[in-house]
Amino acid sequence: MTVHADATAIDGLLDFYSLEVDHWWKLLALLPSLRSGTQGGWNDVRTFSTKDLTIRTRKPRAVNLDGEFKVKTPVRFTIREQAVSVYVP
């Protein structure tokens, strides 16, 4: 699944999207766009890029992080530039 069509691992941005569909069957129509990263063109999807994001909900909600539910809202995501050094021979 592609979050944003132009996203790269080194662009320094968090690419966020929120699916705001009112019927589960609309997800089926969205699947091709979710795979290509073009879901931002849909009225039922909110997208933006940022370096820092806090998500708050009325009630604590589980947050899916890379396929696992590890935390609940509120949750903060932030970019830490140059936090990891990588050596490539």
73 pLDDT more than 90: yes
Question: Contact at 8 Å (CB) between 49 and 37?
Answer: no
7-63 residue pLDDT tens: 777 788 888 877 777 777 776 666 767 666 666 666 777 778 899 999 999 999 998
72 pLDDT more than 80: yes
Predicted TM-score (pTM) above 0.75: no
